């Protein structure tokens, strides 16, 4: 874990120290997302959080697909057979 003390400007801006930007691959123009949870702030790259969310939902999507396939392939279900 790396710890740095930074100051907030009058406009509410902060500067991310260069050592942290380099280690995380943050470059000029990158989009970051800021998440507040009570008195804590998390800042991460939008591409990284997109992948994490995709990974988190992978199992749910797979389960839903399996469940729906069972419903769609049910030959005893008149609703689907009469469509």
Provide the mean pLDDT of the chain.
82
Report which of 43, 26, 25 is spatially closest to residue 34, judged by C-alpha positions: 43
Residue 71 within any structural domain of the chain = yes
Residue 6 within any structural domain of the chain = no
Residue 8 within any structural domain of the chain = no
Could you tell me the residue range of the domain that residue 42 belongs to? Answer: 18-81
* DSSP code, position 76: T
pTM of this structure: 0.54
When pLDDT is cut at 50, 70 and 90, the band that residue 32 belongs to is very high
pLDDT (mean) for 9-31: 94
The count of domains in the chain is: 1
């Amino acid at each position: 874990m790396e710890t740095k003390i930074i100051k907030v400007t009058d406009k509410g801006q902060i500067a991310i120290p260069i050592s942290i930007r380099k280690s995380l691959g943050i470059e000029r123009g990158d989009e970051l997302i800021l998440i507040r949870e009570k008195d804590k702030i998390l800042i991460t790259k939008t591409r990284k959080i997109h992948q994490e969310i995709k990974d988190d939902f992978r199992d749910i999507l797979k389960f839903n697909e399996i469940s729906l396939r069972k419903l769609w392939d049910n030959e005893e279900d008149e609703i689907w057979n009469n469509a």
